[in-house]
Amino acid sequence: MGDVLAGIHATWEFESDALVIRFERGIRTPRLFQALRERRVPYEALASAVLAPGRRGTVVLHAVPRPGADPLMEAAAGQLKETCDPYRLVVPADREALASHWRDELAAVVPPGAADPDDRVDTGFLVAAPQGPRSFKAYDGKATFDGSSEVSFRWSSTMATSEKWKTGDQIFSVRELSGVEWRSPDSPGGFLRLLPRGGAPRTDPPDHDPASVVFGLGYGPVHDSLPFAAAVLSAIRAKDRAPVPAGAPDPGHRDPGAVAERIRHLGELHRAGLVTDEEFAAKKTELLAEL
């Protein structure tokens, strides 16, 4: 292959083993595309290729990803608007014949049976997670990911609920997580929730759940929070596949420095009268048990 198909906001390059999608940086380009910059999609990660009429004299070439192949689309869970779908290339209608040619070429390299909706990828994502961002500002705090092993939530002193403020800033080991739940900030009630490994799923509202950050107007936009969620999800899958080295620390135990910081924060709340003596003693015992 090695040929290129230029569209609106993106260019597709057809390599021998993968589709390389490069996004433009113009002011009209969706901000998610600008954040992604470039994506390399192995042909085995595709389920099908579809060409359909677009709007205002265009056609749309859609490389449909295989379920479970791309952490970005897995985290999005069908919530992306069509205009923000990185697998849709909008092409002027006068290039329809060329787009049709590449639709046929893509269809020819899609592995047989990949379109089966029950076909999941359980051995790791076939498409690499976005490179960034590793942090973003939510309505009630700041979410940060170190890129491999820890996610932290640092609460806003003015926006976080008292329940979150009393628990203190949170640090989550990727090994203790089973997944992420992302609800688009383009819809009311958007949030990012980290799902614990084992046990019952949390049912607390996101604004009361210390394993969640909530979005709002201008907070947690798609181009920041979705790549973040995809990066965390990819790290979780990688940890699932990686063996634990002999002598590695027990993932159920926290970093002593992080525990000490949370106890210090708890003491400040206690001195300010926001936490009772009983709550302080119980929470301190709980934190010490994590060591």
pTM above 0.75, yes or no: yes
Domain annotation covers residue 117: no
Last residue in a domain, options 93, 109, 125: 109
Residues 176, 233, single domain; the answer is yes
Q: In the chain, how many domains are there?
A: 2
Answer yes or no: are the C-beta atoms of 87 and 34 closer than 8 Å.
Answer: no
Domain annotation covers residue 247: no
Domain annotation covers residue 165: yes
128-137, 238-247, 248-257, range with greatest mean pLDDT: 128-137
Domain annotation covers residue 257: no
What are the helix (H) ranges across the chain? 31-36, 71-76, 96-109, 162-167, 222-241, 256-271, 277-288
pLDDT digits (tens, 9 = 90+) for 195-251: 999 867 778 999 999 999 999 989 999 999 999 999 999 999 998 655 545 454 554
Residues 54, 143, single domain; the answer is no
Q: How confident is the model at residue 115 (pLDDT cuts 50, 70, 90)?
A: very low
The arithmetic mean of pLDDT across residues 100-115, rounded, is 84
* CATH label of the domain that carries residue 171: 2.30.29
What range does the domain containing 231 cover?
Answer: 135-242
DSSP character at residue 93:
G
Q: Would you state the pLDDT for residue 117?
A: 44
Distance CA 60, CA 51 (A): 6
Residues 52, 87, single domain; the answer is yes
Domain annotation covers residue 193: yes
Last residue in a domain, options 242, 259, 286: 242
Is the pLDDT score of 128 beyond 60?
yes
Residues 152, 77, single domain; the answer is no
Domain annotation covers residue 174: yes
Domain annotation covers residue 258: no
Domain annotation covers residue 27: yes
